[in-house]
Each structure stands twice: as C-alpha cells, then as structure tokens.
Copies of this chain bind each other. A is one copy, B any other.
C-alpha cells in the first residue's frame, strides 16, 4: 500500500458514536496525529459539544449527531471498533449518506465494508472508494532480510505488554523528531496507526509466514526517503497470544534502536492476569538477544506510561526507577516530553548504567 495519503490535506469526518473520547482510540489518535483536517466527529450522545471540551489535548472540532449534519468532507473514517470488529448496523445510515455525498469511507473493522453488498453497489454508483485497512495486501510475501539496507535509521517501539502505548510513543517521537528538523517517517503496523498514517499493512492480519515480510515491505517502500523511521510495535515478546506478531515485527524491522514501552504499575499481562510480567531487565536482554542474530539492535531508551499515577512528582519518580531498571534514559512522552528518548536515539549510544535521565521538559 503506497504512502500516498501521508501527505494529508483531506477533510475527514470521524465516526465515534457513543464512545467518544474514552473508548474511541482510533478517533482520538486521528484527531491528535493525522496530517488531515478533521472537520467533525460523529457521536449522537455528545452532539453539540466540541472535542476539546472532552480532552484538552484535542483540537476544537465540532461533534455532530449524524453524517447528514456534518460539514463538507472528502472522507468518512470509522473511528471506533466494537469487540470482535463487527459493523454496528446503527452506523449504516451515516455510511450510506457519506457515500451518497461522494465521500470515501475508511474503516479498520474485521467486517469489510467493501464486501457489504449495499455499500459496494452504492460506492460503485457514486465513484467513491471503500478502504478496509485490515484487509491485507494480497501481494505480500516472506521477508528477505533486507530492512537494514535502507538509508534511514530504524527505531522500533517494543513493549512489556499490549496496550502500554507503543503507537502513541512512536507517533510522539515522529513529531518530536520533525520539530528538530529531522526527516522522520512512521511505519504503522495496526489499524489505528494505519488510519492515522493513511497507508500501511495490518501486521496482525497477515498470514503468519508473512509477518516479518509485511514489515520489511513497508520499510523498503519509504526507508530511503527519510532519515529516521519509527516503527510501531505490537504486543510483547512473551505474550501468551500475540508474541508471534511481536517477533515478526522485531525481525522484519531489523531496528537499530529499540524503545521499551511499559505502563507504570502493570504487573501481569492485560487480559491474561494469571501470567505475570518478567522484570524489566529480562525484557531488555530478551529483546536484544532475540534481535541480534538477524540485526543488532539495542534498547536505547524506555517510554513509561504513567496515566495511572496522579501526582507529577510520583510520575517522575516512577520514570526514574524505570530508567534505573533499564540502564537507559526514560520518559513519559505524553505527560512530559520525548526529549530524553530522542536524545538517546539520536546519540546512538546507551547511557552508562546509573546515568539515566528522566523526562525533564514539561509537566
């Protein structure tokens, strides 16, 4: 899938009925990080309010009840996903209206809009595209071990678990790098990242033999056009269900630098609570040693998600402690800033043990 949409500039409506913002990860991600212009959010429960009224880190985008009330747009993006990835039939009128108004529709559901008879016929009639980003590219193949050949340095976010913020860390690092004038590219691997970036392979949906190959394909596609690539990691290398995806990304990316992402206080696998998380240094050692035979990559920094800690000074202490465990600088890129991590990546060298730095900018 080409990086065409990365240029941005489209006018986009984001569907998030009944779930905005807390349970609308994709919608919030698109509002925060997309290069496109978000002109409205659809949430019939919050119509008449604005996105920034719900979360101060979001732009002042109006929330309306239906597509019929949305301003002119190029694209409707489905920004929520029910458990199981099904299509909620209450969304049908909005999708229908969008197509009739000439909008493309983008979705990351397991249910493919392009295979829905009504939508397919209507889209054909109105000359618009239905883009199911979880539908893998049929031309993918096995990795050839070539990702390290690109001009860009490759940075991969890896995790101690699912849902610790790897996508957010990757996107914040892209933004922070661009603010320093570095030509940074983003390699999305999950449906939210793909919808934000406007291109990409949904690694969790490709056939398992092509896991590494689907990452390599993206890196080869844009790796010579950027100075640094930030690859969105998935899962964890010791996850009972998802480690295959993590391992394929690790070897497919052939990253020069790894950023270990963790949530403060997380002690067991999310949703698999009988499985405890290993100690942080064990993760560092496992990721580095597992990567090494394919490509040497070092955990140069850590990203700690401190959303569960109320007090800023407690959060700073947690970051300091995480950095000590890592033997590398750490930061919370959302609560504070990404400077310490970016310095470690660009410095290209691990800080000496004990000389760890915490996120020091914001707060």
Binding site for B on A (CB under 8 A): 142-145, 203-213, 237-248, 250-251, 272, 274-278, 282, 285-286, 289-290, 292-294
- A sample of 8 cross-chain residue pairs with beta-carbon separation below 8 angstroms, ordered by A number, consists of A143-B240, A144-B241, A145-B240, A206-B207, A209-B245, A212-B242, A247-B247, A286-B289
Q: Which chain B residues border A248 with CB–CB below 8 Å?
A: 208, 243-244, 247
Among A206, A212, A242, the most chain B Cβ lie within 10 Å of the Cβ of A242
- Interface contact B241-A143, CB-CB below 8 Å: yes
Please name 11 further chain A to chain B contacts, defined as beta carbons within 8 Å, in addition to the given A207-B207, A209-B241, A246-B247, sorted by A numbering.
A142-B242, A145-B241, A204-B208, A204-B209, A206-B208, A212-B240, A238-B293, A244-B247, A276-B293, A285-B289, A286-B286
Expressed in whole angstroms, the Cα–Cα distance for A293 and B142 within the complex equals 28
| Interchain CB contact under 8 A, B209 and A242 | yes
In the assembly, what is the distance between CA of A204 and CA of B212, in Å? 12
B-side contacts of A274, CB under 8 Å: 145
Given contacts A145-B272, A207-B205, A272-B145, contact A294 B240 (CB under 8 A): yes
User: In the complex, are the beta carbons of A237 and B241 less than 8 A apart?
Assistant: no
Complex Cα distance, B243 from A145, in Å, reads 12
User: Which residues of the partner chain B approach A142 to less than 8 Å between Cβ atoms?
Assistant: 241-242
Q: How far is the CA of A211 from the CA of B243 in the complex (A)?
A: 9
| Contact of A247 with B243 in the complex, beta carbons under 8 Å | yes
In the bound complex, residues from chain B placing their C-beta under 8 Å from that of A213 are: 241
Chain B nearest CB from A206 CB (Å) reads 6
Measured CB to CB, the nearest residue on chain B to A245 is: B208
Bound together, the chains give a CA A286 to CA B337 distance in angstroms of 34
A294 to B241, CA, bound (A): 10
**CB-defined contacts of A208 to chain B, threshold 8 Å:** 203-208, 210-211, 244-245, 248
- Contacts A204-B208, A209-B204, A241-B144; A275 near B247 (Cβ below 8 A): no
Chain B proximity of A272: nearest CB distance (Å): 5
Contact of A237 among B205, B211, B272, B290 (CB under 8 A): B290
Q: Which of B209, B243, B286 contacts A251 (CB 8 A)?
A: B243
What CA separation (Å) do A281 and B238 show in the bound complex?
A: 20
The distance in angstroms between the C-alpha atoms of A143 and B240, with both chains bound, is: 7
Q: Contacts A145-B272, A207-B206, A275-B145 given: A212-B290 contact, CB under 8 Å?
A: no
Residues in chain B near residue A207, CB distance under 8 A: 204-208
Most buried by B among A145, A204, A205, A276: A145
Chain B residues whose CB sits within 8 angstroms of the CB of A145 once the complex forms:
240-241, 272, 274-275
How many angstroms between the C-alpha atoms of A144 and B240 in the bound complex?
7
